[in-house]
Homo-oligomer: A and B are copies of this chain.
């Protein structure tokens, strides 16, 4: 068996395996009739290493043997494969954000007054990390509470040019009315969420069988 043939078999086996393999394990892949020895496997690994140059893959030696891996430079692209599906923000966060957007600048205390419940520090921090909300200053009252405002990124995220593009509160009332008419209060929201999840579903689910019977 030529070195090239051995090298290709090693490539096949390492990539089908997807894990590191020792030279001993690699030798065991060959039958007696192939007559491949330790030295040939080591040489063939070198051939493979060279063959992979210029590709997205590389042969590396790690503690548990040799493995083929995707070159580190492709990390940013590969990592998008496993981007976690965005979770949904909590109701409390959305309400807090809505209040900041419509009543800015507003303090945490004022949000709490309107919502009737405490606003968790976590929510404010999440909104700040997302750079949708920032502290514009402090109200000059005892305790000097932070004044929260929305940012330009917030406008960008919602496709708005300026704050006045936010739907007016009158539109809110219309929405209320429409919902009442359609009898779509809580159920409507669930349905909406459902639709959004459906959008994220795997292509698998698109698989449809047409019947004409």
Contact = CB atoms under 8 A, between A and B. Distances in A.
A89 interface: no
A17 interface: yes
Given A136-B208, A209-B209, 16 more contacts: A9-B77, A12-B57, A12-B71, A13-B74, A15-B15, A15-B70, A22-B203, A24-B203, A28-B80, A64-B204, A105-B211, A152-B203, A152-B204, A206-B213, A208-B210, A210-B210
Interface residues of A, number: 45
A158 interface: no
This chain's copy number in the assembly = 2
A49 interface: no
A178 interface: no
Given A104-B209, A208-B209, A203 B64 contact: yes
A24 B199 CA distance: 14
